[in-house]
């Protein structure tokens, strides 16, 4: 045990060890805002700016305030949480399903205009989506969907980026797997769900994670499309609450924790796929 430790210590020069420690310290410093947010959400507002990170009386009062009292101020946080979950779940499921099938077509099926379709997807990705916010508002207004959850779901149900990323990965599937599926007379549904998807978990995890995060944390579009506080997703409700009741630091931070928690959990859960997938997207 001690011998191993000595070998480990000698594997680097003292300077090298200092550098390693400095890098770890910097990495942990990067997490400081998260630690501060969690600590602040658990303290009475008066104690948040006083004393150190871990000192103070820790309570769940801020969360109670958010769910009970804020409701009476016309800020239904529990409802907003449900709306965010519903919208994000629907968009992510729809994007994953449509992207997997269309990407399979783009990568593996021969049909007229296939290369043109791929070029078109690339062209679409180059044009920034922020340019479309205003005319999209006009469209959604014409469809009579303002202030409805459809306004948040419909425009994001498919993703050119998702299709493109998955297609890039699907191109690398060895032909034998698909031949075997063809021999077994597998249907399109079976081929994609039983053969293609299990072989490409990392890229699917990446598309899922980015779609989920992007929808959950989307701010500008729901800010425009939804003005009724009863229909707001969490990100927007939290921002309006903070604008009006900014001095309620504790409850605002409790809301920030709620807004962050699902994303952090998902990231922690998929971290291995995520790092693998990141190296895929950087190729």
Binding positions for other proteins, 152-191, rule CB under 8 A: 154-155, 157-158, 160, 163, 188
Closest to 95 measured CA to CA, from 244, 221, 209: 209
φ and ψ at residue 47, rounded to 5 degrees: -95, -5
Q: Pick the closer one to other proteins by CB: 32 or 58.
A: 32
- Residue 235 interacts with other proteins (CB under 8 A)? yes
Among residues 1, 2, 49, 176, which is the contact residue for other proteins, using CB under 8 A? Answer: 49
Terminal CA-to-CA distance of the chain, rounded, Å? 41
Site stretch for other proteins (CB under 8 A), options 62-70, 126-134, 172-180, 193-201: 126-134
- Residue 17 interacts with other proteins (CB under 8 A)? no
- Residue 31 interacts with other proteins (CB under 8 A)? yes
CB of 176 to other proteins, least distance (A): 18
Longest dimension (CA), the chain: 74
**Spatial separation of the C-alpha atoms in residues 174 and 242, rounded to whole Å:** 52
Give the DSSP H/E element, type plus range, for residue 132: none
Among residues 3, 30, 72, 176, which is the contact residue for other proteins, using CB under 8 A? Answer: 30
Among residues 113, 115, 174, 175, which is the contact residue for other proteins, using CB under 8 A? Answer: 113
Please tell me the chain's helix, strand, coil percentages from 3-state DSSP, rounded to the nearest 5: 75, 0, 25
Among residues 115, 127, 174, 175, which is the contact residue for other proteins, using CB under 8 A? Answer: 127
Among residues 137, 150, 161, 177, which is the contact residue for other proteins, using CB under 8 A? Answer: 137
Are residues 86 and 149 in contact, defined by beta-carbon separation less than 8 angstroms? yes
Q: What 3-state DSSP class applies to 50?
A: coil
- Residue 54 interacts with other proteins (CB under 8 A)? no
Q: Pick the closer one to other proteins by CB: 117 or 177.
A: 117
Are residues 235 and 217 in contact, defined by beta-carbon separation less than 8 angstroms? yes
């Amino acid at each position: 045990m001690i011998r191993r430790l000595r070998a480990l210590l000698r594997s680097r020069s003292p300077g090298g060890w200092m550098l390693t420690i400095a890098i770890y310290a910097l990495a942990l410093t990067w997490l400081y805002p998260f630690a501060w947010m969690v600590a602040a959400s658990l303290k009475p507002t008066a104690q948040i700016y006083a004393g150190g990170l871990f000192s103070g009386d820790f309570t769940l009062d801020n969360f109670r305030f958010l769910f009970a009292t804020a409701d009476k101020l016309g800020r239904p946080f529990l409802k907003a949480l449900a709306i965010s979950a519903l919208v994000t779940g629907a968009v992510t499921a729809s994007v994953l399903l449509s992207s997997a099938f269309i990407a399979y077509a783009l990568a593996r099926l021969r049909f007229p205009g296939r290369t043109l379709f791929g070029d078109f997807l690339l062209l679409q990705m180059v044009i920034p989506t922020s340019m479309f916010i205003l005319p999209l508002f006009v469209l959604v207004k014409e469809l009579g969907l303002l202030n409805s959850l459809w306004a948040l779901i419909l425009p994001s149900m498919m993703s050119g980026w998702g299709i493109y990323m998955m297609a890039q990965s699907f191109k690398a599937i060895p032909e034998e797997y698909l031949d075997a599926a063809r021999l077994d007379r597998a249907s399109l549904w079976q081929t994609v769900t039983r053969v293609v998807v299990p072989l490409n978990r990392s890229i699917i995890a990446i598309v899922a994670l980015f779609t989920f995060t992007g929808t959950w944390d989307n701010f500008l579009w729901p800010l425009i499309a939804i003005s009724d506080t009863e229909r707001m997703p969490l990100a927007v409700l939290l921002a309006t609450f903070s604008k009006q009741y900014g001095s309620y630091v504790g409850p605002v931070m409790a809301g920030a924790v709620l807004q962050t928690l699902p994303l952090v959990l998902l990231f922690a859960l998929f971290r291995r796929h995520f790092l693998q997938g990141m190296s895929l997207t950087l190729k």
